[in-house]
Amino acid sequence: MAHSLSAKKRVRQTLKRNARNRSRKELLKQELKGFNAALASNDAGKAAEQLNVVAQRLDRNAAKGVIHKNTAARKRSRLTKRVNLLKAGAKGTKLVVA
């Protein structure tokens, strides 16, 4: 248990940051679910729109330090590949879930 005032303050700050980051990650997961649903419906236009929303959320989370910037770039790249496959009409290829 923290005894000094500064240690107690650090505990409070950490709890607040954890809650904030958890919320931001949850919003990202919800956006990804919408993107995956758009992909599953084979609607390239809707999937592209959802990709923009997810990419913005990824970039914002990376800027805030919730996720690493390279993680955001990797996920954005993989999601873009999936949309491009859908636009190209690649039937029979397995779309990897990011």
**Would residue 39 count as lying in a domain?**
yes
Give burial (CB, 10 Å; 0-12/13-18/19+) of 85.
middle
In a domain, 13, yes or no: yes
Higher pLDDT, residue 86 or 97: 86
Residue 97 forms part of a structural domain = no
User: Could you tell me if residue 42 is inside a domain?
Assistant: yes
> Is 10 domain-assigned?
yes
d(CA 57, CA 30): 11
Taking the model in full, what pTM does it have? 0.80
Q: What is the CATH number of the domain that holds 67?
A: 1.20.58.110
- Domain with 30 in it: 5-88
Q: Does residue 95 form part of some domain?
A: no
When divided into structural domains, the chain yields a total of 1
pLDDT digits (tens, 9 = 90+) for 24-55: 999 999 999 999 999 999 999 999 999 999 99
Round the average pLDDT of the chain to a whole number and report it: 92
- Buried b vs exposed e over 16-54: b needs ≥16 C-beta within 10 Å? eeeeeeeebeeebeebbeebbebbeeeebeebbebbeeb
